[in-house]
C-alpha cells in the first residue's frame, strides 16, 4: 500500500495500519497535499475539525499548515512590494538631458510650454521657467531648418497639396504621396494663386518636379500650380467628391424618413377624427398630399443612392471600366442628377456643379491607369483586356469561390506568365493615386499640435516639419513602414535618431 493512500483508508484498514510502526497519516502527506490542506484552511469553506477528519490528522496539524501557507503568502507580497522600490537604473540629469526632455515632451507628448515646466517641477524637482523651455526649442528650430531646406525633392513622384487653417491663417502643406514626406509647411497671410505659385517655385528650385499632383478643388491652389507647374496635371481628390455625394444621400434619406413620419401623423389624425364622427375631407386632402410627398422623397433617395453607388464602385474604384467608358457613365450620372435637381435644388445643385466641372480631374487617375495597363500588355505581349481582367480579379473577395474560379481560368490562359503579370498589375494598382488621404492624415497630425497654441510661427513649423519627417513609425498597416521614418521611406537611406540629428547624445543604459 502506497503512502498517498493513507488518507482514504476504511476504518478497519486504519486499525490494521495503526499496528504498523511509524505509520502516521500526517507524515504520509506530500508537499502538494500539505499546501492544499493549508489553502483549504485559509479559505474557511470547511471547519478545521472537518478538514482534520477528512485527512485523518489532528486539528493542531491543520492549524500549522494554515500558518505556513499564510507566512508564505505574506513573504511573497512583501517581496513584491520591495521590488517596486528597487532601483532599476540611475539616470544622470544634465542640462543637455533636460533640453531633450523639453523636446520630447513638446513633440512626442504634445505638451505645452507650461506643461513641460510642471512635469520637471513635480517629477524631477527642477524649476524650468517658460523662457528656458522656449530657448531650448528655439535652439532646436535653428538646427532643424537646414535639414528641411537641404533635402533634394527630385524623388517626389506624386505630390499631395492642401491647406489647413490656424487662427484664421492658412498653412500650405505639400507631401510625397508614397512616403508621406512633408515637403512644404508654410504659414501664410493668403492662399491665393500668387502665394501658392511662389511656394511651388521655391520647391522647384530644390528639384521638385512631380509627375502629377492631387488636391481638392480650391481655386487658389489650382491656379497657383498652373502658374508654377503648367505642365504638371493636378488630379481631383475623389475623397471630397465622394464625401459630398455621401452627405447628399444621407440628407435625402433623412428627408424621406421625415416625409414618412408626416404622412403617418396625418393618417393617425384622420382616423381619430373619423372615430369622433367629424368630417375628414380636409384631412383626406392632407393625407393624399403627404402620401405623394412621401412617395416622391423615397424615390429620390433611392435613385440618388443608386447613382452614388455607381460613382463609388464603378467610376472611382481602381478596377473598373476604361477611361472613355467611365467618362460616358459619369456624364450619364450627372445628367440623371440634374433631372432630379428641381426636387431638391439647394442640395442637388452644388453636387451637380462640382461633378460637372471636375469630371476630367476626378477621372485623371483612370486615364493614367489605362496607360499603365497598356504598357504592361505590350511588355508581356498579351491583350489589354486580359490585363484588365487581372485587375478586376484582384478586387474580388478572396472568400468568394468566384474569385478562385476566375483565377483558375486566367492561370490556364496565361500559363507561366501569370505570376509575373499578376504581380505587375498589383503594383500598378497599389501606385494608382485617387485621393489625397496622405495629406488628410498629415493634417490630422498637425492639428494635434496646432490646438496647443493660438499663434504659429515659421520657426515652430520648421521644427515640426523636421520632426514629422524623421520620427520613425511605431506601427503601421504596412509592415515595410514600421520602424521607418518618412525620410527613410522616401530616400531609401537610413539616418540617425532625430535627437541625435539635432546634436544631442541619447541616454543609453549599460
Give the strand pairing for 169-176 and 234-236.
Answer: unpaired
**Residue 404 in domain:** yes
Q: What is the pLDDT of residue 80?
A: 63
How many Å apart are CA 4 and CA 259, to the nearest integer?
81
User: How does DSSP classify residue 104?
Assistant: I
Q: Do 91 and 232 share a domain, yes or no?
A: yes
Counting the structural domains of the chain, the total is 4
**Residue 274 in domain:** yes
Q: Do 254 and 355 share a domain, yes or no?
A: yes
Q: Do 336 and 255 share a domain, yes or no?
A: yes
Q: Do 19 and 92 share a domain, yes or no?
A: no
- Identify the domain containing residue 194 by its residue range: 87-236+438-510
Q: Do 225 and 115 share a domain, yes or no?
A: yes
Q: What is the pLDDT of residue 268?
A: 82
Q: What is the pLDDT of residue 325?
A: 93
Q: Do 131 and 211 share a domain, yes or no?
A: yes
**Residue 367 in domain:** no
User: How does DSSP classify residue 497?
Assistant: -
Residue 435: name the closest of 211, 221, 214, 242 by CA.
Answer: 214
**Residue 296 in domain:** yes
pLDDT digits (tens), the chain, 510 positions: 334 444 444 554 554 444 444 557 777 788 888 888 888 888 888 888 888 888 888 888 888 888 888 888 877 777 666 567 778 888 888 999 999 999 999 999 999 899 999 999 998 899 999 999 999 999 999 999 999 998 899 889 999 999 998 888 899 999 999 889 999 999 999 999 999 999 999 999 999 999 999 998 889 999 999 999 999 999 998 988 999 999 999 999 999 999 999 888 888 877 777 666 666 677 778 888 888 999 999 999 999 999 999 999 889 999 888 999 999 999 999 999 999 999 999 999 999 999 999 999 999 999 999 999 999 999 999 999 999 999 998 888 888 888 899 989 999 998 899 999 999 999 998 888 888 888 888 888 888 888 877 777 888 999 999 999 999 998 888 888 889 999 999 888 999 999 999 999 888 876
**Residue 486 in domain:** yes
Helical segments of 150-237, H only: 193-204, 219-228
Q: Do 115 and 220 share a domain, yes or no?
A: yes
Q: Do 168 and 113 share a domain, yes or no?
A: yes
User: How does DSSP classify residue 480?
Assistant: G
Q: Do 45 and 161 share a domain, yes or no?
A: no
Please identify, among 310, 335, 362, the residue that sits at the C-terminal boundary of a domain: 362
Helical segments of 276-383, H only: 281-310, 323-339, 345-357, 359-362, 364-380
Please identify, among 313, 341, 362, the residue that sits at the C-terminal boundary of a domain: 362
Q: Do 152 and 125 share a domain, yes or no?
A: yes
Q: What is the pLDDT of residue 25?
A: 77
How many Å apart are CA 184 and CA 177, to the nearest integer?
13
Please identify, among 343, 362, 381, the residue that sits at the C-terminal boundary of a domain: 362
> 3-state DSSP call for residue 271?
helix
**Residue 497 in domain:** yes
Q: Do 220 and 94 share a domain, yes or no?
A: yes
Residue 186 β-bridge partners: 172
User: How does DSSP classify residue 230?
Assistant: T
User: CB within 8 A of 161, min separation 6: which ones?
Assistant: 172, 173, 174, 196, 213, 214, 215, 221, 225, 234, 436, 439
Residue 210: name the closest of 244, 166, 160 by CA.
Answer: 160
Helical segments of 311-344, H only: 323-339
Q: What is the pLDDT of residue 20?
A: 45
Q: Do 125 and 76 share a domain, yes or no?
A: no
Amino acid at each position: 500500500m502506497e503512502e498517498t493512500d493513507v488518507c482514504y483508508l476504511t476504518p478497519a484498514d486504519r486499525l490494521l495500519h495503526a499496528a504498523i510502526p511509524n505509520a502516521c497519516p500526517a507524515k504520509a502527506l506530500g508537499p502538494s497535499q500539505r499546501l492544499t490542506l493549508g489553502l483549504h484552511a485559509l479559505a474557511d469553506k470547511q471547519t478545521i475539525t472537518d478538514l482534520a477528519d477528512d485527512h485523518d490528522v489532528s486539528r493542531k496539524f491543520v492549524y500549522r499548515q494554515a500558518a505556513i501557507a499564510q507566512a508564505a503568502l505574506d513573504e511573497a507580497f512583501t517581496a513584491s512590494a520591495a521590488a517596486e522600490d528597487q532601483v532599476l537604473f540611475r539616470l544622470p540629469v544634465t542640462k543637455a538631458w533636460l533640453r531633450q526632455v523639453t523636446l520630447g515632451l513638446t513633440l512626442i507628448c504634445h505638451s505645452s510650454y507650461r506643461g513641460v515646466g510642471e512635469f520637471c517641477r513635480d517629477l524631477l524637482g527642477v524649476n524650468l521657467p517658460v523662457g528656458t523651455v522656449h530657448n531650448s526649442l528655439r535652439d532646436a528650430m535653428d538646427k532643424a531648418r537646414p535639414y528641411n531646406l537641404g533635402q533634394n525633392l527630385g524623388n517626389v513622384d506624386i505630390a499631395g497639396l492642401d491647406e489647413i487653417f490656424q487662427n484664421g491663417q492658412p498653412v500650405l502643406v505639400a507631401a510625397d504621396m508614397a512616403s508621406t514626406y512633408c515637403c512644404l509647411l508654410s504659414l501664410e497671410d493668403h492662399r491665393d494663386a500668387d502665394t501658392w505659385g511662389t511656394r511651388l517655385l521655391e520647391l522647384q528650385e530644390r528639384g521638385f518636379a512631380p509627375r502629377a499632383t492631387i488636391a481638392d478643388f480650391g481655386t487658389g491652389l489650382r491656379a497657383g500650380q498652373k502658374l508654377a507647374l503648367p505642365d504638371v496635371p493636378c488630379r481631383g481628390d475623389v475623397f471630397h467628391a465622394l464625401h459630398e455625394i455621401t452627405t447628399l444621400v444621407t440628407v435625402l434619406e433623412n428627408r424621406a424618413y421625415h416625409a414618412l413620419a408626416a404622412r403617418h401623423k396625418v393618417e393617425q389624425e384622420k382616423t381619430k377624427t373619423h372615430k369622433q364622427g367629424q368630417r375628414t375631407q380636409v384631412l383626406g386632402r392632407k393625407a393624399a398630399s403627404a402620401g405623394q410627398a412621401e412617395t416622391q422623397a423615397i424615390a429620390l433617395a433611392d435613385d440618388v443612392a443608386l447613382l452614388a453607388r455607381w460613382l463609388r464602385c464603378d467610376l472611382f474604384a481602381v478596377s473598373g471600366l476604361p477611361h472613355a467608358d467611365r467618362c460616358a457613365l459619369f456624364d450619364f450620372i450627372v445628367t440623371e442628377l440634374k433631372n432630379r435637381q428641381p426636387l431638391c435644388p439647394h442640395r442637388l445643385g452644388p453636387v451637380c456643379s462640382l461633378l460637372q466641372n471636375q469630371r476630367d480631374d476626378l477621372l485623371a487617375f483612370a486615364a493614367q491607369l489605362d496607360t499603365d495597363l497598356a504598357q504592361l500588355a505590350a511588355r508581356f505581349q498579351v491583350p489589354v483586356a486580359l490585363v484588365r481582367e487581372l485587375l478586376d480579379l484582384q478586387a474580388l473577395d478572396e472568400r468568394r469561390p468566384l474569385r478562385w474560379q476566375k483565377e483558375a481560368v486566367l492561370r490556364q490562359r496565361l500559363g507561366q506568365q501569370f505570376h509575373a503579370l499578376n504581380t505587375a498589375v498589383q503594383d500598378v494598382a497599389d501606385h494608382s493615386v485617387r485621393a489625397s488621404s496622405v495629406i488628410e492624415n498629415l493634417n490630422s497630425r498637425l492639428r494635434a499640435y496646432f490646438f496647443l497654441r493660438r499663434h504659429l510661427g515659421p520657426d515652430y513649423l520648421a521644427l515640426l516639419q523636421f520632426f514629422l519627417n524623421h520620427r520613425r513609425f511605431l506601427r503601421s498597416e504596412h509592415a515595410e513602414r514600421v520602424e521607418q521614418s518618412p525620410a527613410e521611406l522616401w530616400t531609401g537611406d537610413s539616418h540617425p535618431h532625430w535627437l541625435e540629428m539635432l546634436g544631442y547624445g541619447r541616454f543609453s543604459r549599460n
